[in-house]
Amino acid sequence: MNIEYNADVIVVGGGPAGISAALEVARAGRKVVLLERSHYAGSKNMYGGAVYTHALKEVFQEDFDKISYERVINSHTWAFLSEDSSFELTYKNSSNNHAYAIKRFNLEKQLIELVKSKGVYFCPDTLVVDLVTNENRVIGVKTSIEEYLAPVVILADGVNSLLARKIGLRQDFKRHDFILSAKEVYKFDKKTIETKFNLKEDLSNGINKQYFGSDFGKLKGYKNLFMMSFLYTFKDSVALGVGVNLEDLSKNKLNISDVLDEVKKHPHIAPLIENGEMIEYSAHLIPEGGYKKVPALYSDGVIVAGDAAGFVNGVHFEGTNFALISGKLAGKAALHALEKEDFSASTLSVYRKYLENSFILKDLYSYRNIINNLYKRSNSLSVYYPNKIKEFFEIITSANCTSKSSQIRKFAYNFIFGRNPLDTIKDMFAFLKCALDVFFGK
Ligand SMILES: Cc1cc2nc3c(=O)[nH]c(=O)nc-3n(C[C@H](O)[C@H](O)[C@H](O)COP(=O)(O)OP(=O)(O)OC[C@H]3O[C@@H](n4cnc5c(N)ncnc54)[C@H](O)[C@@H]3O)c2cc1C
């Protein structure tokens, strides 16, 4: 059959993965159509707040210095929360600029301006409802209004990727493979936020905090909640959010916005958003299946990139870099097929090779067991250790007229025998296994 194509490549999804894929194809002078269901790209997308500059540089290239950002994120804190305490480890580097805080609508806005300037035909308000196939090969997409045809279709339609599921590339994601996250954004005037967080007027510093712990407020008593909270500072606002494994929410009949309400009330978090005006609420899924759940990444005429392929490193909150670079590699694979004029799965399999040679499949492989290992020890991470850390620091900070040695001996005894010692051994093994996996990873 002689097919009349509308473009060389069609990309579904105007998030970082789709935009980057379209850009790669357009830079080679090929005709590419980018379809996005929302009115403007970014309006349906959500994240914590940090985009990684190394990936941005690869995508923006000579335009990198023109990117408008709200702060350089160069202070990272890991905090363990108990009912009334917080133990925080902070790493700061004033000359590091590995990440920028950029609001999502602004990230996608700048990316879309860039791709349009390189010749990408961008269609907002366009929902793709199905794929068009011919003799089992994908040859285009069906929108709610019409069909667009191209020899290669790149699916970058995000975490749910109904299209990858429809075409049979992705099947067995379970509730356990997702984190559900809710986030609120609080606005302050610039001076207030600078004083509150010790931030510089010139936007050259910014904060990211990751909180572990769930044993507080109305969450007290819930066991095995795999939960992490986060905070990012922007120019004149703060994003505060929480993510909980979807299966844990459902087993405990918990609502994610109720969990966020408890986080907001924690005595060491509440002051950080106090007097701020809540200007945004959003909720979104994060794929957490990792390496073991990476779907089939291509088939005849079609490639999957970004969240649609489950490319996220949840341990370090990295997703935009995986999306930007996997999109770029998907674009590169499409160009390879166009050059060979062969759009079969066997030609498109070059995509997997590109991913294997990049940090994407290497990191996913190295971290393949970590989320599951931590998940199995979630009670230790969220309840037991945050409380033990508190007990320890109470001893060394209380000067309570009791000998320190006797208190520390009692603490050590309780630490080892206060619960089934097998649990402590399992924790040690799990943490050691995580460390060894990364050390001996790819
Ligand atoms: C709470 C939270 C915090 C996070 N924090 C960070 C962070 O701080 N740093 C970081 O790097 N990553 C973070 N991530 C992950 C990061 O946001 C994602 O990995 C990244 O956005 C994935 O990009 P994507 O382009 O693959 O998908 P998306 O950004 O989801 O884009 C998919 C696009 O496809 C469109 N679409 C979907 N279906 C269709 C259709 N049928 N037709 C047309 N268009 C369609 C959508 O409207 C959307 O624009 C976070 C994620 C969450 C949820």
> Looking at the predicted structure, is the pLDDT value of residue 400 above 90?
no
Residues with CB under 6 A from ligand 1: 12-18, 35-38, 41, 44-51, 127-128, 156-159, 181, 183, 241, 243, 284, 286, 306-308, 312, 317-321, 323
Task: Give the residue among 242, 239, 243, 229 at the shortest CA–CA distance from 273.
Answer: 239
Closest ligand 1 atom number to CA of residue 49? 8
Q: Which of 37, 180, 256, 316 has most ligand 1 atoms within 8 Å of its beta carbon, as the pocket-test mutant?
A: 37
φ and ψ of 46, to 5 deg: -150, 145
Atom 33 of ligand 1, residue of closest alpha carbon:
13
Average pLDDT, the chain: 95
Q: Which of 20, 47, 285, 325 has most ligand 1 atoms within 8 Å of its beta carbon, as the pocket-test mutant?
A: 47
Pull the structure tokens for residue 346: 């066997």
Closest ligand 1 atom number to CA of residue 18? 25
> Looking at the predicted structure, is the pLDDT value of residue 258 above 80?
yes
Write down the pLDDT at residue 442: 87
Write down the pLDDT at residue 171: 76
CA of 159 to the centre of ligand 1 (A): 7
Task: Point out the least confidently predicted range of 55-59, 124-128, 348-352, 437-441.
Answer: 437-441
Atom 39 of ligand 1, residue of closest alpha carbon:
157
pLDDT grade for 72, boundaries at 50, 70 and 90: very high
Domains of the chain: 9-67+102-172+294-367 (3.50.50.60), 175-287 (3.30.9.90), 371-439 (no CATH)
Pull the structure tokens for residue 439: 């050390």
> Looking at the predicted structure, is the pLDDT value of residue 242 above 80?
yes
Query: What Cα–Cα distance (Å) separates residue 285 from each residue in 147, 307, 413?
Result: 29, 10, 41
Write down the pLDDT at residue 142: 98
Closest ligand 1 atom number to CA of residue 243? 1
CA of 174 to the centre of ligand 1 (A): 19
Who's near 114: CB < 8 A, 6+ residues apart? 19, 23, 59, 60, 63
CA-to-CA distance for 205 and 357, rounded, in angstroms?
A: 33
Q: Is the backbone of residue 28 left (phi > 0), alpha (psi -120 to 50) or beta? A: alpha
Write down the pLDDT at residue 229: 97
Task: Point out the least confidently predicted range of 75-89, 347-361, 390-404.
Answer: 390-404
What is the residue whose two structure tokens read 């990792």? Answer: 290
CA atoms within 13 A on the CB side of 230: 22
Q: Tens of pLDDT along 407-438?
A: 999 999 999 888 998 999 999 999 999 999 99
Pairing of strands 9-12, 32-35: parallel
CB 34 within 8 A of CB 115: yes
